């Protein structure tokens, strides 16, 4: 008997402030057969929402296209503003192997999604991750350079033109990045007891890979208007190679240089159990902890 295959998807659309719009977009993927909506996380300051879905390959593909369709309909990039880098209404569609499926199979599925995005909606597509057409495009930073406003001006050039579609962006929906990768990102925030944004930015620079920090981490220093202090906000792309505890302790040590304390931290959205267990092992000094020692894991099968 063939075991069912499951894919993880963590699409990101460029709206996190208008709750009625967020709900209308997310409603496109609620209660679909073969797909589970795990969570969605609107972020006001970033003005984006990250959705987490798990599903069988073809139902999930259709769910992601439905989500994109609603994003293109309700978000106008000529009006959208936010602190998170973005190039389109449905900014990213990243997928990852979850169970009984290989990266190569996910890569092929991502190709299908990218082709359909342009075929159905005439929104140009950039492929990233394992689907990247060149080394530069393996990372989102290169594709998003200049963001929507800057990319509009250079999308016709050989270096920056979309992988699928015309050499220009959609007039309201922009472009979408589609990718497959082995590991999904974990969104992690560490809170600092200072209102000096510059300190958070300096620490974030020390954390992120491109400026000499952890190769699997991207970070920004920001201020969340709804709470005191500042934040080092991170996308962590491999919490097996770079555990949460290691980054947390690094930020704590760096903050101490400025007489600043860490007041807490936050995982935004779902996280793999393994990524919590490796921190548990570290802080408790546990030896030979097995996942099957956790009773609830026996209910997951």
- Return the active site residues: 84
Separation CA 244–CA 239 (nearest Å): 6
Percentage helix, strand, coil for the chain under 3-state DSSP, each rounded to 5 = 35, 25, 40
- Say how far apart CA 275 and CA 273 lie, in whole Å: 5
Report how many helices (DSSP H) and strands (DSSP E) the chain contains, helices first: 8, 11
Concatenating the DSSP letter of every residue in 30-69 gives TT-TTEEEEEEEEETTTTEEEEEEEE-HHHHHHHHHHHHH
Contact 192, 200 (CB under 8 A): yes
Contact 105, 200 (CB under 8 A): no
**Distance of alpha carbon 37 from alpha carbon 40, whole angstroms:** 8
Greatest alpha-carbon span in the chain: 60
Handedness of CA 282, 284, 287, 292 (dihedral sign): negative
DSSP code for 287: -
Helix (H) or strand (E) holding 298: none
The vertex-271 CA angle with 266 and 274, nearest 5°, equals: 115
Helix axes 273-284, 244-256, angle to 10 degrees: 60
Instruction: Assign 3-class secondary structure to 117-166.
Output: HHHHHCCCEEEEECCCCCCHHHCHHHHHCCHHHHHHHHCCCCCCCCCECC
Q: Which residues pair with 40 in a beta bridge?
A: 51
35: which strand partners? 55
């Amino acid at each position: 008997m063939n075991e069912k295959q499951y894919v993880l998807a963590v699409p990101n659309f460029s709206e996190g402030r208008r709750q009625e719009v967020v709900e209308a977009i997310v409603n496109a993927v609620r209660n679909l057969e073969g797909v589970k909506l795990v969570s969605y996380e609107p972020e006001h300051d970033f003005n984006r929402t990250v959705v987490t879905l798990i599903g069988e390959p073809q139902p999930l593909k259709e769910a992601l296209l439905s989500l994109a369709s609603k994003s293109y309909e309700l978000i106008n990039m000529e009006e959208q503003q936010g602190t998170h880098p973005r190039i389109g209404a449905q900014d990213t569609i990243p997928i990852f192997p979850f169970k009984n499926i290989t990266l190569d199979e996910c890569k092929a599925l991502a190709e299908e999604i990218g082709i359909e995005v342009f075929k159905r909606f005439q929104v140009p597509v950039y492929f990233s991750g394992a689907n990247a057409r060149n080394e530069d495009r393996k990372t989102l930073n290169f594709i998003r350079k200049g963001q929507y406003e800057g990319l509009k001006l250079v999308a016709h050039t050989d270096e920056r033109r979309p992988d699928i579609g015309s050499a220009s962006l959609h007039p309201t929906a922009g472009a979408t990045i589609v990718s497959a990768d082995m590991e999904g990102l974990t969104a992690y925030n560490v809170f600092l007891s200072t209102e000096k944004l510059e300190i958070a930015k300096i620490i974030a620079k020390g954390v992120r890979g491109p400026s000499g920090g952890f190769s699997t981490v991207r970070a920004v220093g920001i201020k969340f208007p709804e709470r005191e202090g500042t934040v080092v906000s991170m996308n962590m792309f491999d919490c097996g190679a770079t555990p949460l505890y290691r980054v947390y302790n690094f930020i704590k040590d760096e903050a101490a240089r400025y007489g600043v304390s860490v007041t807490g931290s936050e995982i935004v959205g779902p996280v793999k159990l393994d990524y919590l267990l490796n921190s548990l092992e570290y802080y408790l000094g546990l030896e030979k902890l097995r996942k099957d020692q956790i009773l609830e894991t026996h209910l997951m099968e």
